[in-house]
């Protein structure tokens, strides 16, 4: 099929000038994808030549035709050929692919330039997990057309992501999270490369937890081990959509298990991050208990996780240790689990992650593994949390915690 070059100049098939102005689609805002040119309108008129959704904003039509084309994650155009005129792509934001028939695919990132000769069969689009934008530049020519051909198969497309390699994956993930190279490791580039490729090229996208839970677990573990990456991960949490109040609650939840000094040290980092983002402090309070009811409310919170066994545990405590049961009920649960800002399942997952990071907490880890299962965090969720914490706590503690999970899950 042949169409006019006026239609074809838009990245192999986005036609007509959009009227989107400087407005961005809701999906774009939700992902935090940023670019310097307007998004434009959905490219519904040429959707038949794309897998997924694209957007178009015409920028210039006098002389050279210039258009900003944006792809949602996973979107790519069909194989196609420009006749009697070539095309230039100037990559401006996100990550994408370009491939000519019979040649390896080329990974595209901001600053990349692609010169597409006339008569070459090719396709281009976003990577599987990333938005992508480029400027499409053509010089109108008499009789210029675009021949639209077959779609790029899922088999071809998904193999690109599988073969991209850990280095590309780590750079991609770090870019999405807003995490830069660690300047303190500048003198040790091999160590930094191994760390980043393991953390962000393997661990980050593995396991049955979403990015929100992944971020919260990472922060909890870093509080427990006093990790130097904490500030970066707090910024990443904001970037993926966590609220300041949710980040604050991780420290409240962690404190009974890791101790006040570690939690306070981390709160200093959170304060810096929030101030850099222009977020006023202090944040609104989330407490729901009073001095008069914190013990009773705490006992109720314990029972919500562990059941009626709490009554027996309290009743059977030696007389000289009953105060410890009150501490557990009133502080760990009354002052902490009853707070607003995080739900019960998230709080239990944070507790479990802190205990795994500390090590030497087999009894408590076993109890809270069971507690997680009771509130709906299944075995796969717990193993996903342990996978996420592995780079920070090491293999011995991770493997020990996995053994506990498997024992309790039986």
Characterize 349-386 residue by residue with b for buried, 16 or more Cβ atoms within 10 angstroms of its Cβ, and e for exposed. bbbbbbbbbbbebeeebbbbbbbbbebebebebbbbbb
CA distance 66 to 97: 20
Q: How many domains does the chain have?
A: 2
Backbone φ and ψ for 108, nearest 5 degrees, come out as -110, 140
**Do residue 155 and residue 189 come from a single domain?**
no
CATH number at residue 134: 2.60.120.10
SS3 158: helix
**Do residue 339 and residue 389 come from a single domain?**
yes
- Taking the model in full, what pTM does it have? 0.68
Q: Which residues pair with 135 in a beta bridge?
A: 68, 90
**Do residue 228 and residue 119 come from a single domain?**
no
Q: Which of 142, 163, 184 is the last residue of a domain?
A: 163
Q: Which two tokens stand for residue 300?
A: 């109720």
Report CA-CA distances (Å) from 70 to 48, 63, 106, 127.
Answer: 16, 22, 18, 12
**Do residue 290 and residue 385 come from a single domain?**
yes
Q: Which two tokens stand for residue 82?
A: 């420009």
CA distance 337 to 368: 13
CA distance 403 to 26: 44
- Terminus-to-terminus CA distance in the chain, angstroms? 60
Report the relative pairing of strands 87-94 and 50-51 from DSSP bridges: unpaired
**Do residue 123 and residue 203 come from a single domain?**
no
Rounded (5°) CA angle 85-87-92: 165
pLDDT in tens, the chain (410 residues): 333 333 333 333 333 333 333 333 334 444 467 899 998 899 988 899 999 999 999 898 777 889 999 999 999 999 999 999 999 999 999 999 999 999 889 989 999 999 999 999 999 999 988 899 999 998 888 889 999 999 999 988 988 877 777 887 888 899 889 998 887 898 998 999 899 999 999 999 888 899 999 999 999 999 999 999 999 999 999 999 999 999 999 999 999 999 999 999 999 999 999 999 999 999 999 999 999 999 999 999 999 999 999 999 999 999 999 999 999 999 999 999 999 999 999 999 999 999 999 999 999 999 999 999 999 999 999 999 999 999 999 999 999 999 999 999 99
SS3 302: helix
Residues 6+ apart with CB under 8 A from 264: none
**Do residue 100 and residue 231 come from a single domain?**
no
Note down the domain range covering 15: 2-163
Contact (CB, 8 A) for 68 and 40: yes
**Do residue 232 and residue 371 come from a single domain?**
yes
């Amino acid at each position: 099929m042949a169409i006019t070059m006026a239609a074809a100049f838009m990245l192999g098939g986005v036609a007509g000038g959009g009227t989107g102005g400087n407005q961005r689609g809701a999906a774009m805002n939700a992902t935090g994808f940023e670019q310097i040119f307007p998004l434009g309108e959905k490219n519904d008129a040429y959707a038949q030549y794309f897998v997924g959704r694209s957007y178009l904003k015409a920028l210039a039509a006098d002389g050279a035709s210039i258009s900003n084309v944006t792809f949602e994650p996973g979107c790519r155009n069909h194989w196609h050929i420009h006749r009697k005129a070539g095309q230039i792509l100037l990559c401006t934001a996100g990550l994408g692919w370009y491939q000519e028939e019979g040649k390896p695919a080329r990974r595209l990132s901001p600053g990349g330039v692609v010169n597409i000769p006339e008569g070459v069969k090719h396709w281009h689009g976003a990577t599987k997990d990333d938005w992508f934008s480029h400027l499409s530049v053509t010089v109108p020519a008499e009789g210029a057309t675009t021949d639209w051909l077959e779609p790029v198969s899922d088999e071809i497309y998904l193999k690109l992501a599988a073969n991209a390699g850990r280095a590309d994956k780590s750079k991609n993930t770090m870019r999405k999270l807003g995490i830069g190279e660690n300047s303190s490791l500048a003198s040790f580039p091999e160590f930094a490369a191994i760390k980043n490729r393991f953390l962000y090229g393997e661990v980050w996208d593995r396991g049955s937890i979403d990015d929100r839970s992944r971020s919260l677990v990472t922060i909890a573990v870093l509080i427990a081990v006093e990790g130097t990456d904490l500030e970066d991960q707090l910024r990443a949490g904001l970037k993926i959509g966590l609220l300041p109040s949710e980040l604050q609650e991780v420290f409240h939840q962690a404190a009974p298990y890791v101790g006040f000094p570690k939690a306070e040290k981390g709160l200093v980092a959170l304060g810096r991050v929030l101030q850099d983002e222009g977020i006023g402090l202090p944040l609104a309070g989330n407490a729901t208990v009073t001095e008069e009811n914190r013990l009773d409310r705490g006992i109720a919170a314990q029972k919500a996780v562990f059941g009626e066994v709490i009554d027996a545990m309290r009743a059977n405590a030696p007389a000289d240790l009953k105060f410890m049961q009150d501490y557990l009920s009133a502080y760990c649960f009354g002052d902490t689990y009853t707070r607003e800002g995080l739900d019960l399942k998230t709080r239990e997952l944070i507790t479990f992650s802190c205990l795994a990071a500390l090590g030497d907490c087999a009894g408590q880890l076993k109890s809270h593994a069971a507690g997680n299962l009771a509130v709906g965090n299944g075995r796969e969720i717990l193993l996903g949390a342990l996978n996420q914490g592995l780079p920070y706590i090491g293999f011995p503690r991770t493997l020990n915690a996995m053994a506990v999970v498997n024992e309790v899950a039986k």
